[in-house]
Amino acid sequence: MRIGELARRTGVSERSLRYYETQGLLTADRTPGGHRDYPDWAVDRVIRIQEFYAAGLCSSKIAELLPCVRDSDGGPSAIATPRLVGDLTVERDRIDRKISELLRSRDVLDDVIATAEGRDTGADGAGR
């Protein structure tokens, strides 16, 4: 499939797809006319890449991780090294810290919302 079709099917810009290629995250054959020709599995690969970026991983870490993950379902493949496991554990710990920070922020917002709702309804006795 051409780059435009891959972009449409994944919701990722053509520019991003080209960037993924330069980072070694995605590969494409070339037609005789020089156009990129992606295999069908590229859709799943791009989805995995997007998931890893959303988790906060950088492109170099994603490039290390991709060979260890099946494109079709994101499950683990048989290829992994102890070093990669250590690196990914560090990344997972970073994500866990970020989740904790976000939960704390949400709790603060919930308190502010509850207070504001009480004030708007006159529940605190102050009225409007």
Q: Tell me: the pLDDT tens digits for 7-35? A: 999 999 999 999 999 999 999 999 999 99
pLDDT at 9: 97
pLDDT at 61: 87
pLDDT at 74: 66
pLDDT at 20: 96
Report the chain's mean pLDDT, rounded to a whole number.
86
Q: What is the CATH number of domain 3-120?
A: 1.10.1660.10
At CA 26, angle to CA 22 and CA 29, rounded to 5?
A: 95
Q: Which residue has the higher pLDDT, 69 or 39?
A: 39
Residue 36's Cβ-count burial label (10 Å; 0-12, 13-18, 19+) is buried
C-alpha–C-alpha distance, residues 16 and 67, integer Å: 20
pTM exceeds 0.75 for this model: no
Residue-wise pLDDT for 57-105, tens only, equals 899 989 988 888 777 776 777 777 777 788 888 888 988 999 999 999 9
Taking residues 95-119, what's their average pLDDT?
Answer: 92
Query: What is the residue extent of each domain of the chain?
Result: 3-120
